[in-house]
Amino acid sequence: MSGTSDIYGSDFTDDDNPDLNPELQLLSALLWAPPRDAATAAGMLEEADFYRPLHGQMFSIIAGLACAGSDHRAPSVLAHLSAGEQIAGDDRRSLIRLLTRAATGGADPLHLSQLVYVIASEAHRRAYYSAASQLRQAAESAAEAELFPLLLTLGRAHRSHENRMKRIRQWAGRNQ
- 45 pLDDT exceeds 80? yes
Query: Contact 89/8 with Cβ under 8 angstroms?
Result: no
Domain count, the chain: 1
- Is 146 a member of any domain? yes
- Is 71 a member of any domain? yes
Confidence class of residue 159 from pLDDT cuts 50, 70 and 90? Answer: very high
Q: Write the DSSP assignment of 105-172 as a string of letters.
A: S---GGGHHHHHHHHHHHHHHHHHHHHHHHHHHHHHHS-HHHHHHHHHHHHHHHHHHHHHHHHHHHHH
Task: Please list, residue by residue across 118-147, b when 16 or more beta carbons sit within 10 angstroms of its beta carbon and e when fewer do.
Answer: bbbbebbeebeeebeeeeeebeeeeeeeee
- Is 161 a member of any domain? yes
pTM as predicted: 0.84
- Is 100 a member of any domain? yes
| Residue ranges making up the domain that contains 138 | 13-172
Cα 47–48–51 angle (5° rounding)? 105
- Return the closest-CA partner of residue 161 out of 139, 119, 137, 128: 128
| Cα within 13 Å of Cα(57), Cβ side | 16
Residue 53: which CATH number?
Answer: 1.10.860.10
- Is 4 a member of any domain? no
Please write the tens of the pLDDT for every residue from 82-129.
887 667 777 888 999 999 999 999 899 999 999 999 999 999 999 999
- Is 6 a member of any domain? no
- Is 68 a member of any domain? yes
Residue of 9 and 40 predicted with greater confidence: 40
- Is 8 a member of any domain? no
